[in-house]
Amino acid sequence: MYFSVIKLLLLTSCARCANILGVFMFPSISHQIVYQPIWRELSLRGHQVTVVTPDPLNDPSLTNLTEISVRFTYDFLKQTKIQELMSKDVNVFYNLDKLFRFMDAIAEAELNSTQFQELINDQTKHFDLILIECFHPVMYALAGRFQAPIIGVSSLGLLASGYDIIGNPTHPALYPDVILSFHSKKLSLWQKLQSLLFNLWSRYYHHNILVPRADQMARRYFGEDIAYLGDLERNVSMYFLNVNPLMYPPRPNVPAIVEMGQMHIKPVKALPKDLQKILDEAAQGVVYFSLGSNVKSVNIPEGLRNNVIAALSELPYLVLWKWESDHLPGKPDNVIIRKWLPQQDVLAHPNIKAFVTQGGLQSTEEAISRGVPLVGMPFMGDQPMNVQKIVDLGIGLGVDPVTVTKNELKSSIIEVAENNK
């Protein structure tokens, strides 16, 4: 399915090239790497592409691409501990509202930025198509401003309200929302009820709280002339969703929903020399440890960190830990820390025996594509659901970061690394 969406939509010779605007608002590289191939490929096919993103490609060879950087939005993530926003230990109703208020602030800062203002106030600008990351409804106002059709793009699925808008069936007992961390095959009656409640409440929240609030914001930046945001949103033409059928239950979709899987998986590249040497020489095997770009290893509570360090120190393997700081207090000898690692290429190395992950969708897909078994330690969002899926697929084990002990973590890693299954 890799790139097939784009290949299908854009025949190789570009008979009529379009002016395309892409607005991908959320400051998180794990989301942006799903979108980057879309704007890169569109520009390579001869379309004139303008993109607003916190993670520009900055590739001078892409001459048909104009990137407007909103990198400053990463400061919002630094100020707010995102895992506090979406911790699975607080109730989802409260979490969803907090998450959207957080996104309100990011969206408002982007709309208010000079770069964005120049874009929307430039009367000479014309777009044939607008792609938006459809997490937050305010960006649908761009349809009102530029009078162009919109395609919503998501690095995961949609909430029930999103499926409603495009006329897709939703069924709370069959397709519980990703935020609920239920796995559909095993829903108990109580979970079905919770899912039903959430399904109803999230629609109420969307139509009666979120959209009216976002409409007010849209009017501040796009003027009073635009149609009601809820109407603009309902006019969305298509959705491109990153829902890998391995990870999500298959569901019936209307033709306006296109499922794009594994957009971010790239062919294996050579590792940097030093890493290659380290991994080649680790004949006893290597455990790769990373909690991704949103949770981050440096942010975990001290108690958990001490358990992790103690467990890793007793492993008979080398551990490569994505630790986002120069210093790890009490670093065991068998642990190598790096602030950043080329994850897809590290996972492709034959000496990697296991991957300890927060269970983000992109990391999970990367591990599956490289054939590396997992130990999932989920913190927030869709991670608990993904880890449940990992366990159900038999490609790994899950541990709970709140209750996990040193011995449990150690034995889970060893089991995953040694079990030939």
Ligand X SMILES: *[C@@H]1O[C@H](CO)[C@@H](O)[C@H](O)[C@H]1NC(C)=O
Query: In terms of CB distance, is 232 or 387 closer to ligand X?
Result: 232
158, 176 in Cβ contact below 8 A?
no
Helix axes 92-111, 114-121, angle to 10 degrees: 70
Distance CA 410, CA 332 (A): 14
Smallest separation (angstroms) from ligand X to the CB of 148:
8
**Which C-beta is closer to ligand X: that of 69 or that of 235?**
235
Residue among 112 and 419 whose Cβ is closer to ligand X = 112
| Residue 21 or 232 having the CB closest to ligand X | 232
> Which residue has its beta carbon closest to ligand X?
46
CB 131 within 8 Å of CB 151: yes
Element (H, E) at 239: strand 238-241
Q: Which is nearer to ligand X, 48 or 276 (CB)?
A: 48
- To ligand X, the closest distance from the beta carbon of 174 in angstroms equals 31
Question: 154: which strand partners?
Answer: 241
Task: Give the whole-angstrom CA distance, residue 164 versus residue 161.
Answer: 5
**SS3 of residue 324 by DSSP:** coil
- Is residue 347 within 8 Å of 374, Cβ to Cβ? no
In the complex, minimum distance from the CB of residue 227 to ligand X, in angstroms, rounded to a whole number: 4
- What is the rounded CA–CA span in Å between residue 35 and residue 128? 19
CB of 14 to ligand X, least distance (A): 6
We find the least distance from the C-beta atom of residue 170 to ligand X, in angstroms, to be 23
The dihedral built from the CA positions of residue 113, 114, 119 and 123, taken in this order, carries a sign that is: positive
The owner of tokens 């607003």 is 52
Residue number, 163 or 221, with CB nearest to ligand X = 221
- Exposure string for 138-151, b = 16+ CB within 10 A, e = fewer: bbbbbbbbbebebb
Cβ proximity to ligand X, 29 vs 62, nearer residue: 62
- State the nearest-atom distance from the C-beta of 17 to ligand X, in Å: 5
Q: In the complex, which residues of this chain contact ligand X (CB under 6 A)?
A: 17, 43-44, 46, 62-64, 108, 112, 143, 149, 227, 231-232, 235
Q: Which is nearer to ligand X, 166 or 395 (CB)?
A: 166
Nearby residues of 193 by Cβ (< 8 Å), 6 or more positions away:
none
Longest CA–CA span in the chain (Å) reads 66
Rounded to a whole number of angstroms, the minimum distance from the CB of residue 4 to ligand X is 20
CB of 43 to ligand X, least distance (A): 5
Q: Is the CA virtual torsion 164, 167, 173, 177 positive or negative?
A: negative
